[in-house]
């Protein structure tokens, strides 16, 4: 199933508190150590994208790769730099901070290398299925 261009905002309410995604729990996708935890930035109103340098986000070192999660709800991050996390541990809530026009979770797995910002993006499988831009899971 795919979202077609222009359909995206049909699924989102006009204010944060009534949005189905806003405040959804975010769980650690791997066991590892928190290397970045930034919180305290305001959530943006729906339809108004903020700036990328003002996002609440967490990065976990999973051993052979890192996982970055972005757009947490303000003051919802429950982990700190240096904390050990386990798979499935609650780490925060979906918000709309940073460069985001509606609440969602930006998820990126990467290795350190010669890619953009010294990061080499890795594919992520969800229950054995790889998703591509516009795909909806499940």
* Phi, psi (rounded to 5 degrees) for 53: -80, 0
Q: What pLDDT shows up at residue 1?
A: 47
Cβ 34 vs Cβ 16: under 8 Å: no
- Residue reference for tokens 């150590």: 33
For the record, the structure tokens of 100 come out as 């985001």
Tens of pLDDT along the chain (138 residues) come to 454 544 455 555 567 777 778 899 999 999 999 999 999 999 988 877 766 678 999 999 999 999 999 999 999 999 999 999 999 999 999 999 998 888 889 999 999 987 678 888 888 888 888 877 767 766
Domain ranges, ordered by start, for the chain: 8-130
Do residues 94 and 24 lie in contact, with contact meaning Cβ atoms separated by under 8 Å? Answer: yes
For residue 46, the model assigns a pLDDT of 82
CB-count exposure of residue 128 (10 Å: 0-12, 13-18, 19+): exposed
Give the pLDDT confidence score for residue 48 in this predicted structure.
73
H/E stretch holding 45 reads none
* 3-class SS of residue 55: coil
CA pair distance 82, 16, nearest whole angstrom: 31
Predicted TM-score (pTM) of the model is 0.83
- What number does CATH give the domain 8-130? 2.70.70.10
């Amino acid at each position: 199933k795919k979202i077609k261009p222009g359909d995206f905002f049909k699924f989102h309410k006009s204010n944060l508190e009534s949005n189905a995604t806003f405040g959804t729990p975010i769980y650690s996708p791997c066991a590892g150590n928190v290397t970045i935890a930034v919180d305290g930035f305001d959530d943006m109103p729906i339809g108004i994208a903020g700036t990328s340098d003002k996002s609440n986000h967490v990065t976990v070192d999973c051993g052979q790769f890192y996982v970055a999660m972005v757009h947490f709800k303000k003051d919802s991050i429950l982990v700190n730099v240096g904390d050990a996390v386990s798979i499935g541990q609650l780490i925060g809530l979906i918000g709309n901070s940073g460069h985001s026009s509606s609440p969602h979770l930006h998820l990126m797995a990467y290795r350190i290398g010669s890619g953009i910002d010294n990061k080499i993006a890795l594919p992520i499988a969800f229950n054995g299925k790889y998703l591509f831009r516009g795909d909806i899971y499940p």
